[in-house]
Amino acid sequence: METNQITETINMVAEEHLDIRTVTMGISLLDTIAGTPQETAKNIYQKITTYAKDLVKVAQQIEREFGIPITNKRISVTPIALIAGKASPDDMLYYAHALDDAAKAVGVDFIGGYSALVQKGFANGDLSLIKSLPRVLTETDLVMSSINIGSTKAGINLDAIKLMGETIKAITDKSDTANAKLVVFANAVEDNPFMAGAFHGVSEADVVINVGVSGPGVVKRALEKVKGEPIQIVAETVKKTAFKITRVGQMVGSLAAERLGVEFGIVDLSLAPTPARGDSVAEVLEEIGLEMVGTHGTTAALMLLNDAVKKGGVMASQRVGGLSGAFIPVSEDAGMIDAVKAGVLSLAKLEAMTAVCSVGLDMIAIPGETDATTIAAMIADEAAIGVQNNKTTAVRILPTNGTKVGDIVDYGGLLGTAPVMPVVQKSSADFINRGGHIPAPIHSFKN
C-alpha cells in the first residue's frame, strides 16, 4: 500500500471534513397497523426499538474502526399517513409521539417518515396528517415530516400546495424553527437517507440500511489542484473524487447492514454542506471560477458539479439511490450565507439552480408576514421544475415572525443561520385559490 494513499485518506477526514453524513435505517411499519391508534402506536414503538436498538452502537464502532466520522444516525419509516388511514388529526399525535419516543429510546438524531404522498389526491390519513403538523412539529423533538405534492406521472396537486402554504404559516405562528423539520416535495424518492425528507417507501424491503456520504471539502481541495485547466478536467476531477467518497459509503453501509443483520439498501452520494468553513458547496462552485456563488455562470457550474458527482458515484457503489448530487441549502452553507448577505445570491437565482441540483429551495428564511398563498406559489414553481424535468425538487422554507429582510435567524447546530431573504411583493393568491390539479406533462405518457 502506498504511503501517499494513506496520507490522502487521513487528510480527507482530518482537514477536508469527509464524513459519512448519515447511516439511516429504513423500517417498514406496514405490519404494525392495528385496530386503534393507541395499539398501532405501541406496535410502532416496539418494532422500531427492536430493529434499531443497536444502530447507534454499531455505527459508533464502525467510526472507530475506520477512523471516519458518522455524523448522524437516523431512522426512516413508512409514510405515516398510510399507517394512520382511519385516524383523526388528534389521533395523529399517538403516532408522532410513538416515533419521537422510539427515536429517543434508541438514541438516533432524527426519525423521518411523518409523511404523506398526495400528488394525485388526499385520503383521510393524508389530511389528518397535514392538519396535525403544527402540533406534531412543535410537540415532538426528533420527528421529521415530508409531503409529496407532485410527480411527473401524476401532475401537481394545487389543493395540496395551497394547504401546505397555510400549514407552513400555522407552524410559523407556533415556532420559528419547526419548519426546518418539514419539506414539501415533488418526485420524492423512496430511499433517501437525508433529512428532513427521508421516508421508507412502500416498495422497500422490511428493514434496510441506507447511507448518505458527503464531502464538499474534499471536492474543493481536489479542484484547487486543477486551477485554470479546461472545464472537462474539472468534471473529471469531481468524478474521481466522488468515486473515492462513495467507496467509503459503500464499505460502511454494507458493513453496518451485515452487523445489524438487515439488508443493505443504497448509497446516496450527496455533497451536503454544513455551516463549517471548508464544508461548503458554494465554495466548490467558487473554486470552479465564480467570484461569488449567485453570479452569472452559477447554474452552469452547478449542473456540471451535480452531474459529475452522480457519474463518479454510480461506478463506486453497488446501488446508488436517494437524491445523489449537490445540495444547496442556504442556512447550512457558509458560502451561500455570505452570498445572500452580499446581495449576490437571490431567491430567483436559487430557483434556477434547483433545476440542475439534486433537490430544491432549502433552508431559506423569508419574512414572517409573507402570505400563505405566496409560499404556496413558491412551492408550485419548484414542483413545476421537478415535474417537468423528471427530477426531485423540494421546498423547505422558513418564514420567521417579527423579522425583516436582512435579519439573521439562528436555527442552531447543523441547521445553521440564515439571512432573511426578500420575496416578490405581488400577489399569487388568485392563482393558488383556483385549487384543483395541474395535469401531468405530456412526456409522462410513456406506456
Partner 1 sequence: MAKAVVTVIGKDKPGIIAGVSRTLAEHDINILDVSQTIMSDIFTMSMLVNLEKLDEEFNKLQNDLNHLGKQLNVEIHTQREEIFDAMSRV
User: Residue 122: CB partners within 8 Å, gap ≥ 6?
Assistant: 159, 160
311 binds partner 1 (CB under 8 A): no
Of 40-48, 64-72, 355-363, 439-447, the window that binds partner 1 (rule: CB under 8 A) is: 64-72
* Whether 292 contacts 281, CB under 8 Å: no
68 binds partner 1 (CB under 8 A): yes
Nearer to partner 1 by Cβ, of 14 and 30: the residue is: 14
Nearer to partner 1 by Cβ, of 97 and 244: the residue is: 244
Count of residues near partner 1 by CB under 8 A? 21
The single-letter code of the amino acid at 340 is V
**Residues within window 249-308 making contact with partner 1, judged by CB under 8 A:** 250-251
Nearer to partner 1 by Cβ, of 257 and 432: the residue is: 257
Of 3-11, 82-90, 111-119, 274-282, the window that binds partner 1 (rule: CB under 8 A) is: 3-11
Task: Give the integer Cα–Cα distance in Å for 186 and 387.
Answer: 7
7 binds partner 1 (CB under 8 A): yes
Nearer to partner 1 by Cβ, of 111 and 251: the residue is: 251
User: In terms of residues, how long is the chain?
Assistant: 447
Q: Tell me how far, at minimum, the Cβ of 253 lies from partner 1, in Å.
A: 11
Exactly one of 39, 50, 64, 343 binds partner 1 (CB under 8 A); that residue is 64
2 binds partner 1 (CB under 8 A): yes
Of 60-68, 193-201, 262-270, 301-309, the window that binds partner 1 (rule: CB under 8 A) is: 60-68
Cell of 82: 398510510
Of 6-14, 51-59, 71-79, 130-138, the window that binds partner 1 (rule: CB under 8 A) is: 6-14
SS3 43: helix
Q: Tell me how far, at minimum, the Cβ of 282 lies from partner 1, in Å.
A: 25
Cell of 88: 383523526
Nearer to partner 1 by Cβ, of 240 and 443: the residue is: 240
430 binds partner 1 (CB under 8 A): no
Is omega for the bond preceding 160 within 30 degrees of 0, making it cis? no
Burial of 296 (0-12, 13-18, 19+ CB in 10 A): exposed
**Residues within window 239-258 making contact with partner 1, judged by CB under 8 A:** 244, 247-248, 250-251
Maximal C-alpha separation, the chain: 66
Closest among 82, 168, 91, 86 to 133, alpha carbons compared: 168
Task: Give the integer Cα–Cα distance in Å for 424 and 405.
Answer: 12
User: Residue 26: CB partners within 8 Å, gap ≥ 6?
Assistant: 75, 76, 77, 191, 193, 198, 200, 204, 207, 208, 209, 210, 265
Strands 207-214 and 263-271: parallel
66 binds partner 1 (CB under 8 A): yes
65 binds partner 1 (CB under 8 A): yes
Nearer to partner 1 by Cβ, of 61 and 175: the residue is: 61
8 binds partner 1 (CB under 8 A): yes
SS3 164: helix
10 binds partner 1 (CB under 8 A): yes
Sign, CA dihedral 304-309-315-321, equals negative
* Whether 150 contacts 180, CB under 8 Å: no
Nearer to partner 1 by Cβ, of 1 and 442: the residue is: 1
User: Where on the chain is the footprint of partner 1 (CB under 8 A)?
Assistant: 1-3, 5-10, 61, 64-68, 244, 247-248, 250-251, 315
